[in-house]
Amino acid sequence: MSFFRSVSKLSKLRSRLVQQPGLNGSVRWLQIQSASESELDLHSQLKELIPEQQERLKKLKMEHGKVQLGNITVDMVLGGMRGMTGLLWETSLLDPDEGIRFRGLSIPECQKVLPAAVPGGEPLPEGLLWLLLTGKVPSKEQVDMLSKELQNRAKVPDHVYKAINSLPVTAHPMTQFVTGIMALQVGSEFLKAYEKGMPKSKFWEPTYEDSLNLIAQVPVVASFIYRRVYKNGQTVPADASLDYGANFSHMLGFDGPKMQELMRLYITIHSDHEGGNVSAHTAHLVASALSDPYLSFAAALNGLAGPLHGLANQEVLLWIKSVVEECGENITTEQLKDYVWKTLNSGKVVPGFGHGVLRKTDPRYMCQREFALKHLPDDPLFQLVSKLYDVVPPVLTQLGKVKNPWPNVDAHSGVLLNHFGLTEARYFTVLFGVSRSIGIGSQLIWDRALGLALERPKSVTMEWLENYCKKAA
């Protein structure tokens, strides 16, 4: 929360403070901007905040650069650098017990304080974007202004559609999505500015333009792919009267208010998950070479497409449907337990359970469960998911090889989408990609603003490790 508090000092804007109980029962104070007393432009807010954060980073490096953060073990080197503290990622932080916090706010807190489209509804993704970039909770007026700005930026050139159409319609939607993002790259403002020559201190400004353009464009590209693959190419034009999440739902072809609410929730909770996951880290790594946001995000999407990352949401629904096909919708707890063991004994995993960092049930799972209890409590697949929540963790605990037997975000999202008619599981990871653009884009702007270094960790051979361990013994 240090950034969250410090940025409020810099602001010339008067704000109101709202008392919010923390998870441990203590009281936290949230700065909520009053639109009638403040500027509505996001870019001007960043221009004010960035110099202080640059000085903060400079001071941190100068005074504490030699402080050790921990010890590296051979297990970490061989285990995918798991648990190593080695990245600066300002927009969110993942706690093993509490789950994700966006600029210090948990998901339940975000649901309470971020502006919504309807009273008591789900937070608007534009509000989360403002929060991630500034550390401040925006007003409804600021969110509405940002929503209009994103609509104005959501123009996709014809050559992008041509690039996608050059692929077979049978190509995986993620392949088509990456192709579309790469085609957008020819319009990169950062690339143009860099080629003309500009000081490093100004790199954040064209990165801001690219990132906001990209965030605005991805729903258009993603919905085009969905309609191309599953609806005979019959596209649905954007509706300028709708917010970001609702308009995406509309362009996909779903205009029900509950589906629009689900899309707002989905995009918000999938947007960011600190910097160590594959897609976020890949974007940060590629961007550290001064690759523009389009190149960096396309690289992130290629990581997201892997079955151990974003593709898991596809695998969960397919697995759940396989349970129904074999055992029926009215499966008993014992039958379900047997099916889980059957899956594990065949050398496969139960998709949607476990997490690389979390050691409790994913809060993103819980808020989706609450959404289901509110809007679709009698859905057969939701009831099956609820049974899985009771059955799978004890089985995985008995197996003895899983540090976290609890469900993650992917265990629930597919069932919600399926209920409202978006049944095509192969497309789910594209939805994940749309939402992840908000978190990745926000952090890329701060990467440039803070002048973060080219990422270049040290690698070693097995012989080096063996010799080092012999000497240390």
Catalytic residue set: 309, 355, 410
Strand partners, 94: 100
Instruction: Look up tokens 């080219």; give the residue.
Output: 454
Residue 17 is classified by DSSP as E
Task: Please give the single-letter amino acid code of residue 153.
Answer: R
- How far is it, in rounded angstroms, from Cα 427 to Cα 445? 28
Is the Cβ–Cβ distance between 144 and 13 less than 8 Å? no
What are the backbone angles phi and psi of residue 29, rounded to the nearest 5°?
A: -115, 125
What are the backbone angles phi and psi of residue 92, rounded to the nearest 5°?
A: -155, 160
Instruction: Look up tokens 């996001």; give the residue.
Output: 42
Is the Cβ–Cβ distance between 216 and 441 less than 8 Å? no
- What region, left, alpha or beta, does residue 338 occupy, with left being phi > 0 and alpha being psi -120 to 50 degrees? alpha
Is the Cβ–Cβ distance between 17 and 29 less than 8 Å? yes
Which tokens is 350 given? 């139960």
Residue 306 is classified by DSSP as S
- How far is it, in rounded angstroms, from Cα 233 to Cα 231? 5
3-state secondary structure of 406: coil
